[in-house]
Amino acid sequence: ASALYKLAREGLKVLGIDRRREIGVPIQCGEFIPQYHEYKKILPEVDDPYLEIFSRMPMKLVSNKTRSVSVYTPSGNEYSVDFDGYVIDREAFDKWIVKEAVDYGADVMINTVVYKLDRDGTVYARGKTGEFKVIGDTVVIAAGTSSTLLEQVGLFREVDELNLGHVINYQMAGVDSYPSVVEMYTGKDYSPGAYAWIIPKGDGLANVGLGIRYPYVDGEKDINVYMERFWKKHPIASVKLRGAQPLSYVGGLVPVGPPPDKTVSGRFLSVGDAANHNIASLGAGIVTSSIAGIAAGEAISKYLDGSAELNIYEDLWRRLLGRALDNGYKLRLVIDLISKNDRYTDLFMEVVGKDRIYDLVYTKAPTNVDLLKIAYNIVKG
């Protein structure tokens, strides 16, 4: 949506095609983003124009403000770090961005599936009135994780299960958690290879969910079983969820691998989940994907006016996001080692302590301590 907005604002003729019947539905994330002043700590390379969407975001789109993040180890030890965040209404947020794009002249088609791409920029789609095709001077692919459209035009498609998080999220009412604290829970019994979360939306509402990665699953492979166990049996979370009832449910895939070497092929660019533009250690991608979309819009605008090659997009998003995405992947490799055994996770946190939770939340790969070496030594005993 951010690419659509940027291109429309530049005065270009742009068409957005969405397979969903309604923009922003279903919601496929925990809806948590940093407050604006935190961005310079997390993404110091990103200039203000690339964050314009978030600086202009109406406060009516914010469901709740949070002040800290708490991480619980498998044994129940809690490590907290101050972090100012917003829990947004993602459906309303997406609709707002698309409305802004439409106000600048963008065309939008919903309930329309793109099923084929040709290298000459031809897009084949199927909508309510039948099949049709359009030809674009450039085409942005923001079709989510593992889209087969990517392979059709020579772009990378993530298929490695080690780099794919399978996620489930309930919006629940009657949650008895601290409204200003985002909670993350680790442990193989509940979220092997990932983590579970309680993200408060205010007034007893919360996003409650978890992720799993199948290479770390030893027994049960049904993610719903893990969710039921977390909800009903986790020694800490189940107390807070004792009176909770689900209002909505969604599942999906989240990329947690490194970005591909190539995100431009001919007339085509990949953005967001389709390009692994997620912080791999957290599975977070609202902000990074939005920034990449703005970068894509800028690159296309310069390409079409003849001032740059389309490949400038590669340089743009890597300059803005490369360090954070690389650090996120390095931190995920550390998490991979200690996730093999709950005891490793507890020992690791005892050794490195609260400072490393800061590094995790702020996506920093510390230079003063070799986390991978510490994790390796713990695993080796």
Determine the 3-state secondary structure of 239 from DSSP: helix
Rounded distance between C-alpha atoms, residue 364 and residue 281, angstroms = 11
Q: If you average pLDDT over residues 101-114, what whole number do you get?
A: 98
- Tracing tokens 């989940």 back to the chain, one arrives at 273
Q: How confident is the model at residue 368 (pLDDT cuts 50, 70, 90)?
A: very low
Q: How confident is the model at residue 369 (pLDDT cuts 50, 70, 90)?
A: low
Q: Does the pLDDT of residue 315 top 90, yes or no?
A: yes
pTM for the complete prediction? 0.94
Tokens of 374: 């510490």
pLDDT tens figures, 39-81: 988 999 999 999 999 999 999 999 999 999 999 999 999 999 9
Tokens of 354: 């609260």
Q: How confident is the model at residue 367 (pLDDT cuts 50, 70, 90)?
A: low
Rounded distance between C-alpha atoms, residue 84 and residue 161, angstroms = 32
Q: Does the pLDDT of residue 349 top 90, yes or no?
A: no
For residues 176 and 341, is the Cβ–Cβ distance under 8 A?
A: no
86 CB neighbour count, 10 Å cutoff: 21
Torsion sign, CA atoms 79, 185, 252, 147: positive
What's residue 86's pLDDT? 98
What's residue 381's pLDDT? 65
125 CB neighbour count, 10 Å cutoff: 18
Cβ-proximal residues to 51 (8 Å cutoff; 6+ apart), any chain? 36, 39, 291
Percent of all residues in the chain with a pLDDT value above 70, rounded to a whole number? 97
pLDDT tens figures, 216-226: 999 889 999 99
For residues 232 and 158, is the Cβ–Cβ distance under 8 A?
A: no
- Answer whether the bond into residue 26 is a cis peptide, omega within 30°: yes
Residue 321's identity, in one-letter code, is: L
Higher-confidence residue: 364 or 176?
A: 176
User: What's the mean pLDDT when you consider all of the chain?
Assistant: 93
Rounded distance between C-alpha atoms, residue 254 and residue 61, angstroms = 23
Task: Select from 296, 250, 251, 240 the least CA-distant residue to 272.
Answer: 296
Q: How confident is the model at residue 26 (pLDDT cuts 50, 70, 90)?
A: confident
Q: Which of 86-90, 149-153, 311-315, 371-375 is predicted least confidently?
A: 371-375
pLDDT tens figures, 257-289: 999 999 999 999 999 999 999 999 988 899 999
For residues 157 and 147, is the Cβ–Cβ distance under 8 A?
A: yes
Rounded distance between C-alpha atoms, residue 277 and residue 256, angstroms = 9
Percent of all residues in the chain with a pLDDT value above 90, rounded to a whole number? 81
What's residue 366's pLDDT? 54
CATH code for the part of the protein at 2-63+86-158+257-329: 3.50.50.60
